Each structure stands twice: as structure tokens, then as C-alpha cells.
Structure 1
Amino acid sequence: MSTLMEQASEKEIKQQQDIHTDEELEIDLMDLLRKIVSIRKSIYKAAGIGLLIGIIIAISIPRKYTVEVTLSPEMGASKGGGLSGLAASFLGSGVTMGDDTDALNASLSADIVSSTPFLLELSTMKISVSKDENMTLNAYLDEESLPWWSYVIGFPSMLIDRINSLFTEEDESIYSGKVNQRIIELSKKELKKIETLKKMIVAIVDKKTSMTSVTVTLQNPKVAAVIADSVVKKLQEHIIDYRTYKAKEDCLYLEKLFKERQQEYYVAQKKYANYIDSHDNVILQSVRAEQERLQNDMSLAYQVYSQVASQLQVARAKVQEEKPVFAVVEPAVVPLYPSGISRKICVLVFVFLFVCISVFWKLFGEKLQNRLEEIRG
């Protein structure tokens, strides 16, 4: 009986405590609301300042448009049953071409797009900015606008570079060929543009599906679409050139060998025919022996010539077979709306930020400042 009475009393105490806590919370919230209402003029001023600064920042930030192209490249696989295998089965004679594993696959697309040689080649391409104006991508980058604070922050470094340029002569960029190794020399200006292109042009490869997404972000929507399409085409050309390089080299070597063996066969055939014509009515053992020798030479030359011709046909089929197939899932589409944070959201963020700062300062900051002054005093 006593335990039941104790449990009932504990429940009543808890209920009273909860009611008391709710009353205190309501009082605190009402007190906080009264304080906020009392400083409404400061809040209005802060909102106005945030609105003004937000509008200035939103207008200063140039609009950018993003174009994304998605493609699905062919995965590397064994090609024994492809065109080269079909050609070998028709030609017979054990003609085969070795199946090599691909050293360059779809997973390296992101590294290729961000590589300096790829971006250097891309920066020299001609783009149509308007109906009557064509320029290189390198020249277009100079025309893209920057927010005013970028010039303010970068002014000291620009001034130092100008002063240094008066005393030193800056060499133009040199794109050297293969001497001992591939070397690229860039000026500071060109290096800066390459770094800018690396930020504007991004390729992402999904490891699970091997889908490659190429994203280009520029201030001109049409130029962004053109560059995105060009990046995909150059990426395809780069991979195709690499994949077919070995097969093309083999094909060129076999074509040269084919012409040599063909000429040898024609020479042996001509010698045999001339000898037969000149010794048609002569019946001597030495003549027959020489005739048989020339005939064997001609047959041997023909066998070698025929085998090289078969290998050449297989090599030509392998060049076509080595070309990877790229299925463009999402082509380059000219965007209608800018990407990133909209100007309205930017303005609202600044208004909210300044209002929060004003409320915090009026409610807590001034009290904290007064206490610190009292402690110091």
C-alpha cells in the first residue's frame, strides 16, 4: 500500500516539474520574443544592409552555364572472335595475331582530360563565339569576366609581375617534340590558363558502370556546349589513336614486307618464264635441273608472298577491330539556365546572415562586451 502511495506521489512530482519547466520555457520564449520585437529597428537596418550587399555580390558574380556529356566506352575484352579472328579462319594457314591487353582503358579518361598535353591541344581549337566572330579557346578565356574582388585581391601580385617583366624577358611557351623525353615549357600566363581549364573541364568515371561524364562550365552557354562536344571527340580520338597505334604499326610493316615479297615473286616468276622460253626445245639434264631449280625458287617466293598477304589482311582487320566504340548516352545540350546558386538565393542568404548577426549581437554580444569592460575596469 505504501509503495503505491509513493509511486503516485512521484508521478505527481514529475508532472508538477514538467508543468513548471513548460511554464519557464514559455516565459523564456516570450521574453526572447519581446527582446527581438524591441530591436526590430536594428533588424530592419541589418536586413537592408544584407539586401544591399547581397545584391552587389549577386550582380558581381558572373553567370556560368554547365554542360554535361555522358558516354559509355567499350570495355577491353578478348578479341579472338572479332574481325581478325574471322579473317584468320578464312585465310587459314595458322595466321593469327596476338591479343594484347589494353594499357589504356576507360578508367583513365579523367586523367587524360586533365592532362597538360590534352588541354594544350584543346586551347588552340577554334570556337564560334558569335555568327561573325571566331577565336581560339585560349583567346576566349581572356574575355571571361571575373568578380571585382578578384582584381582587388590579385592587384598586388599583378603589380609585382609587371615590375618583374620590366627587368626580365619572359620566354614564350615551347611545346617541344620528342628529343630525349617529352618536355613542355609554359609561361606563367599559360600555366594559369591550364589550371583554369582544369577547373572548368572535369571528367568523372563511374568505376561500377564505367560511364564517363564530361562537365564543362563556362560563361557562354553555346561555347560551353561546343567545348564539351569537342572534349568528348578529342578524348575518343586520343583513346582510338592509342588503341590502334600498335595495330597500325604492324599493318605498315606488313605492307612494306608484302611489297618486297611481291617483287621477289615477280622476279622469280620472270626468270623462270625467260628460261623456259629460251630453252624450249633443248632436252638436256642440266637444262631440266636449272628449270626445276627456278621453278622451286618461284614456288617458294609465291608461298612466302601468299603468307605475307594473308597476314596483311588480318592486320588490316585488326586495325578496325581495335577501334573502341563510344556510345554517347547524353549529348551536349545548350543550357537555358545558369548553374550554381541563383541570385535570389544569394541575396536571401546575405539578408538572413546579417539579421542573425544583428540579433545575436543585440541579445548576447552587447552584454558580453559590457561584462568584459566591467572586468577590465
Structure 2
Amino acid sequence: MSENKNYQHPDVQKAENDELEIDWMEILRKIIAIRKTLYKAAGVGMVLGIIIALSIPKQYTVTVTLSPEMNGDKASGGLASLASSFLGGGTSSNNDALNVTLAPDIVSSTPFVLDLFDTRVQTLDGKLDTTLVSYLDEQKQPWWGYVKAAPSLAIGAIKSLLTEEADSTAALNPFQLTEKEATKVKGLRQAITANVEKKTAMTTITVTLQDPKVAAIVADSVVAKLQQYIVDYRIKKAKEDCAYLEELYKERQQEYYDAQSKYAHYFDTNRNIAFQSIRAEQERLQNDMSLAYQVYSQVAQQLQVARAKIQEEKPVFAVVEPATIPLYPSGISRKIILIGIIFLTICITGGWKLFGYSYWLKIKKMI
């Protein structure tokens, strides 16, 4: 008897399969029944997709790849070590606080972005030749962007009427930016990105703007400014040491010249005098001159090492992939946007007609 508990009559199984088949067939019949509605939904989706696709401005992306010099121990083979070995000095390698992994933070920093504002850019058609900060005002945005920004624009217009207009020629202050400047800084941070691969230290700079030539110019400018920023940081300490040794060198040189002049003058004046006191003073002046020369010589050696260290501390950047004007826009194509919106409107309309409307009627009756 226990073996027959799960037994089902063949007619029952057939009935269940028929019922399942009838359910799928019913859904297919409903879809066929609402095909005109789906056609209308596809038309509406096409119109909506065309409007949205044409409203989104084209974006062009430029990518530059850099291979910076790895920061290793330079004490064994650098110019400063060679100078110190010849001159008898010594150098020690130090751990640099700035390395290639900080490139993304440097590129997104407010002072760096503000420094890009004055970059001269030119559109591909040649109609616009201005600064980057002025070009940002010429970039287009979707119509819903203007709708979203309408309240803030109205508030800004009212404020401009009630307050005095700020001097546009005044220097930018990173400590206190205006709302308009902060918006542009935020936009450039999103348009300019930097990524560093930890294993190879390869740095990739990406710039995305609406004009291909402007994007290439800005990418090239970002690379140049990033290189100069890192170079200035790396040689800043070496320059300060060199400037200090320059002053010290001049002082010790003058001290040596003074001691030499005193000794020569005293020796010429008392050449034929054989007093012991004269000889003692002459010997003292000669010792002072020798000591001044030793100090002067040591400072001169240190100055040569410091000058060599400035060149040694300059990092080397190899541009693996330079900035080039892109031929095609980046991002999602307009065809994909159009097809996606049509498919979405058909799915929403079909789901509502097949399932949503019936559930809505049930909920409405329960209420």
C-alpha cells in the first residue's frame, strides 16, 4: 500500500500537463490580443528613445599612458653619488613622500584642477578658441539637466541682482570658491581621472569632454602639469639645499680671500724684518688662511654634490600612449539607447496589461 501513495493515474498527469500548456497558451493569446497596444508602446518608446538619444550630447574620451621612473636606491649609481665619490663626500638615499600612487589624488586636488582653468583650448571645427574655464560654459547638457538646474539658476539670478557682481579677473582662491567655480571644479574632477596599476606603476590619464580636440589638448596639458608637479616636488628639497650651500660658499670664499689678503699684505710689509713676533704673527695669519681654504674647499665640494643631486632627483616619465584626437565618441551609442528604451516600454506595457491591471482591479475591489 505504501508504494501506491505517490502513484498518480495517467489521466491526472495528462490533465495537469494540459493545464500547464493551456496556461502558456493563454498568455500567448493575451499577448496576441494586446499586440496593437504593444505596437503603440513600441512607437511611443521609439519617439521617447529618439528624444532622449538626441538630447544626450556626444562624449569623446582621450587616454594617455605614462610609465614613470621607479623610485629606487640612487645612492649607488646617481650623479650625486658619483660627485661625492670623486669629491670625497657621501650621500644617503631617502624615502620620497611623493610616489606614483598619489597621481589620482594629485589630479583630483582642487589646486591642480584650478591650475587647468587657464589652459588654452580649441574646438575641432575651429569656431572656439578660448580657455578651458570658458569652454565649460559652452558644453551642452540634456534638457532635463536644464530643468533640474532651473531653481538654482533662478536663485543665482536673484542673488546677482541683490549683490554686487564679483570681479571676474580676480585670482582664484582655492580656500574659498564661488558656487559657479565649485561646480566647474566638480565637473572637471568627473571628466579627468587617473588610475595607477600597482604592480607596474603604469599611470593612465583619462579625459572625457564633448569636443575631441579639446579632450586631447586637456589630456596633454594634464600630463605636462602632473609631470611638472612631481618634478617640482622631488627637487624642491635639493634646490633648497643647493641655495643654502650657494650662500655658504660665497661667505666661505670671501673669508678665504680676506685671510689670503691679510697674509699677503702682512708678509709684504714685514718681509725684511727678522723679529720673532713678526714671524709668529705671519705664521698665525698663514694658519688662518689655510683653515679658511679647507672650509672653503669642503663647502665647494658639497655644493657640487648638491648641484648634481638636483638633476638626479628629477624623475623620468616615458609616455607609452600619447594624447590623440579620437575619431569616434565614447559611451553608449544612440542606437543602443533607442533599442533599450523601446524594449523597456514594451516590457512595461505588456507587464501592466497581462498582470498589473488585473492585480490593480483586485486591490481596488478590496479597498
Q: Please, what TM-score do these two structures have when normalized by structure 2?
A: 0.91
- The 5 Å alignment of 1:1-377 reads 23-81=18-76, 82-92=78-88, 95-129=89-123, 131=126, 133-169=128-164, 171-172=166-167, 184-376=175-367
1:330 positional shift: 2.0
Root-mean-square deviation (CA, aligned residues, Å) is 2.5
Letter in 2 for 1:199: Q
In 2, the alpha carbon distance for the partners of 1:99 and 1:235 equals 24
Any idea what the Cα deviations from partners look like across 1:5-54, whole Å, max 9, x if unmatched? x5xx8998599888766554433322222221121111111001000110
In 2, the alpha carbon distance for the partners of 1:205 and 1:25 equals 56
1:333 positional shift: 2.1
1:98 positional shift: 4.3
Any idea what the Cα deviations from partners look like across 1:242-280, whole Å, max 9, x if unmatched? 111111000011011111111221222222223333333
In 2, the alpha carbon distance for the partners of 1:293 and 1:191 equals 70
Any idea what the Cα deviations from partners look like across 1:312-348, whole Å, max 9, x if unmatched? 0110111111112222222212111111110000000
Letter in 2 for 1:86: L
1:122 positional shift: 0.8
Alpha-carbon spacing, 1:132–1:23, altered in 2? closer, same or farther (3 Å) = closer
In 2, the alpha carbon distance for the partners of 1:105 and 1:16 equals 78
In 2, the alpha carbon distance for the partners of 1:44 and 1:185 equals 56
In 2, are the aligned partners of 1:73 and 1:327 still within 8 Å (CA)?
A: yes
In 2, the alpha carbon distance for the partners of 1:18 and 1:291 equals 129
Alpha-carbon spacing, 1:260–1:219, altered in 2? closer, same or farther (3 Å) = same
Q: Percent identity?
A: 57
Flag structure 1 segments of 5+ consecutive residues without an equivalent. Answer: 178-182
Letter in 2 for 1:101: N
In 2, are the aligned partners of 1:129 and 1:135 still within 8 Å (CA)?
A: no
1:63 positional shift: 0.1
Alpha-carbon spacing, 1:20–1:211, altered in 2? closer, same or farther (3 Å) = farther
In 2, the alpha carbon distance for the partners of 1:14 and 1:145 equals 70
In 1, are the aligned partners of 2:114 and 2:172 still within 8 Å (CA)?
A: no
Any idea what the Cα deviations from partners look like across 1:46-87, whole Å, max 9, x if unmatched? 001000110011001000011111222233333221221111
In 2, the alpha carbon distance for the partners of 1:195 and 1:299 equals 64
1:132 positional shift: 7.0
In 2, the alpha carbon distance for the partners of 1:273 and 1:132 equals 75
Letter in 2 for 1:160: I
In 1, the alpha carbon distance for the partners of 2:289 and 2:28 equals 109
1:225 positional shift: 1.0
* SS of aligned partner of 2:116: helix
In 1, the alpha carbon distance for the partners of 2:204 and 2:361 equals 57
Indicate the residue corresponding to 1:180 in structure 2. none
1:234 positional shift: 0.7
Flag structure 2 segments of 5+ consecutive residues without an equivalent. Answer: none
1:165 positional shift: 2.1
Letter in 2 for 1:57: I
In 2, are the aligned partners of 1:109 and 1:205 still within 8 Å (CA)?
A: yes
Any idea what the Cα deviations from partners look like across 1:134-158, whole Å, max 9, x if unmatched? 3111001000011111111211221
Any idea what the Cα deviations from partners look like across 1:208-251, whole Å, max 9, x if unmatched? 33322211110001110111111111111111111111110000
In 1, are the aligned partners of 2:66 and 2:317 still within 8 Å (CA)?
A: yes
